[in-house]
């Protein structure tokens, strides 16, 4: 049936298409289908290039997060630290004298640090070597921290590492789902721009065919006027129709050029030759799918980044609350270390012997009163958590409504397409009858123009119905990340 209406449309613009075919001997024409335009957009459009960059950025953010749980090896030092100055030197009797200082101090250290996600602390192993040179007396000495092992552990504090382990994987999952959404959004936008050009292209073809037809009718009317079979008023009506057709064709041609540039710019495609034209096919095959509302919503909750964001935002709100509680309560830091150290005049002896080195410290902060500041911050965090829960519940309901609305529109536009298809057939048939009756002098110019306008409107309505159908089809794919033709997920988490 759709193939038949396509033939009717082509038949209605036969003269225009014939003239274009002759013109194509002088210039090339690029023919594209809807699926080809979408494929080009997904390969090279500026939007997909931007999405690829954002995807890569998210990947390296994820790598940065993962590195927080891996050991960190670092090398530090001062080579050299030279000083020549007069400095205040404390004397044995308690007095101070300014004496010339001419020395050099160098240090080199290596350390390994490992964060502990479970507790939020850090364990470390380090070793260092220091050298002091008194350049006046030409004396040198060495000091070595041969080995030092220790731990730094916050007590009762906010453990960012533990919360990040819950939040960051969800952020990364969001970014991967968002990339799949962006690809479907590009398909959706490319579809809209495809039909904008298709409508403009159809309007131009109709205007061109109408101009040719009106010129023919005006020529016939001139002959009939000379024979006294029609009035001058009828002749002027046909002459005005020719002028209006010329104006309509000029406007339609401008719209076609503008829509062509808009489509090509969006999909990132350029015609190979300056005088090359672009011609779009009317989609003659529709996906034979039936979309279930509940299935669509289940897949949307499973596949969309928004659903993952709901989980992440709840955890983030709990994390913020835990941080406020930790910051406003009793805080303490435990630091323990054990090591071996030595100092010698000769480098060769500094590692021969060693002495034990111990360090234990506990620092704490206990708020006594802050005039209600901590209480206010805690109350704010609790209310924010409650507000976030309410917002998520409301957004989830709106999300469901959005999915169901689009599915209902899909069924509506599918039925609407059948109606406009039938209307196009009837309008085209009526116009052909009117045209034949007009040529035989059995119908007025006004009635013939009405039939012509109804045919043009029916063709445009059919293409607009096609646009609405395909727009909603790709919108549902973007909302659910689900292919209802193949019954498979469109989500790519690689």
How is 254-313 classified by DSSP, letter by letter? Answer: HHHHHHHHHHHHHHT---SSTT-EEEEPPP---------HHHHHHHHHHH-HHHHHHHHH
CATH of 2-64+164-314+386-489, one of 1.10.10.60, 1.25.40.10, 3.40.50.2300, 1.20.1600.10: 1.20.1600.10
Note the pTM of the prediction, 2 decimals. Answer: 0.78
The predicted structure's pLDDT at residue 451: 82
Q: Between β-strands 29-32 and 82-90, what pairing exists: parallel, antiparallel or unpaired? A: unpaired
The predicted structure's pLDDT at residue 24: 44
The predicted structure's pLDDT at residue 3: 38
CB under 8 Å to 99, separation ≥6 — which residues? 86, 87, 89
Q: Where are the domains of the chain?
A: 2-64+164-314+386-489, 78-116+121-158+331-366
Average pLDDT of adjacent 10-residue blocks, the chain of 494 residues: 39 42 56 94 93 93 92 89 81 83 88 91 91 84 87 88 94 93 94 94 88 85 81 85 91 93 92 83 85 92 92 94 86 85 80 71 67 83 92 93 93 89 86 80 74 82 91 94 91 75
The predicted structure's pLDDT at residue 176: 92
The predicted structure's pLDDT at residue 181: 93
d(CA 296, CA 273): 44
The predicted structure's pLDDT at residue 346: 82
d(CA 30, CA 201): 14
How is 69-137 classified by DSSP, letter by letter? Answer: TS-EEEEEEES--EEEEEEEEE-TTS-EEEEEEEEEEEEEEEEEEEE-TTTS-EEEEEEEEEEEEETTT
Tokens, residue 394: 């409301």
* 147, containing H or E segment: strand 139-155
The predicted structure's pLDDT at residue 33: 93
* 180, containing H or E segment: helix 160-226
């Amino acid at each position: 049936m759709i193939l038949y209406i396509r033939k009717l449309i082509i038949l209605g613009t036969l003269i225009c298409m014939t003239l274009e075919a002759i013109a194509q001997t002088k210039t090339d024409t690029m023919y594209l289908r809807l699926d080809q335009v979408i494929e080009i957009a997904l390969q090279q459009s500026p939007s997909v290039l931007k999405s690829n960059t954002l995807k890569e950025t998210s990947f390296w953010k994820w790598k940065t997060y993962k590195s927080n749980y891996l050991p960190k090896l670092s090398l530090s030092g001062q080579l050299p630290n030279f000083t020549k100055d007069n400095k205040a030197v404390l004397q044995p009797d308690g007095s101070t004298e300014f004496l010339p200082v001419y020395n050099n101090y160098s240090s080199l250290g290596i350390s390994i640090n490992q964060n502990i996600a479970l507790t939020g602390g850090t364990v470390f192993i380090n070793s260092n070597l220091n050298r002091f040179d008194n350049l006046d007396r030409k004396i040198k000495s060495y000091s070595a921290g041969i080995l030092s092992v220790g731990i730094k552990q916050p007590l009762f504090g906010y453990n960012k590492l533990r919360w990040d382990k819950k939040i960051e994987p969800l952020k990364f999952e969001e970014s991967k789902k968002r990339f799949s959404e962006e690809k479907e959004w590009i398909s959706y936008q490319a579809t809209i721009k495809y039909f904008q050009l298709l409508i403009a292209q159809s309007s131009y073809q109709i205007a061109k065919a109408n101009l040719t037809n009106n010129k023919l009718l005006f020529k016939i009317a001139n002959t009939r006027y000379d024979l006294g079979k029609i009035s001058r008023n009828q002749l002027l009506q046909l002459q005005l129709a020719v002028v209006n057709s010329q104006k309509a064709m000029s406007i339609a041609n401008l719209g076609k050029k503008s829509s062509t540039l808009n489509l090509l710019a969006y999909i990132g495609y350029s015609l190979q030759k300056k005088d090359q034209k672009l011609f779009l096919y009317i989609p003659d095959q529709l996906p034979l799918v039936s979309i279930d509302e509940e299935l669509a919503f289940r897949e949307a909750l499973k596949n969309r980044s928004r659903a993952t964001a709901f989980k992440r935002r709840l955890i983030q709100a709990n994390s913020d609350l835990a941080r406020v509680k930790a910051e406003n309560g009793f805080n303490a830091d435990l630091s323990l270390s054990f090591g071996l150290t030595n100092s010698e005049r000769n480098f060769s002896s500094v590692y021969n012997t060693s002495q034990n080195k111990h360090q234990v410290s506990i620092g704490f902060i206990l708020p006594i009163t802050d005039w209600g500041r901590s209480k206010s911050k805690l109350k704010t965090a609790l209310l924010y958590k409650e507000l976030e829960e309410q917002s998520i519940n409301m957004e989830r309901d709106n999300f469901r409504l959005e999915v169901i609305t689009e599915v209902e529109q899909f069924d509506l536009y599918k039925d609407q397409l059948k109606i406009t298809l039938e209307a196009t057939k009837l309008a085209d048939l009526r116009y052909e009858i009117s045209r034949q009756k007009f040529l035989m002098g059995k119908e007025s110019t006004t009635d013939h123009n009405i039939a012509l306008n109804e045919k043009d409107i029916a063709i445009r309505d059919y293409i607009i119905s096609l646009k609405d159908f395909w727009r909603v089809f790709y919108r549902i794919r973007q909302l659910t990340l689900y292919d209802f033709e193949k019954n498979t997920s469109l989500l790519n988490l690689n």
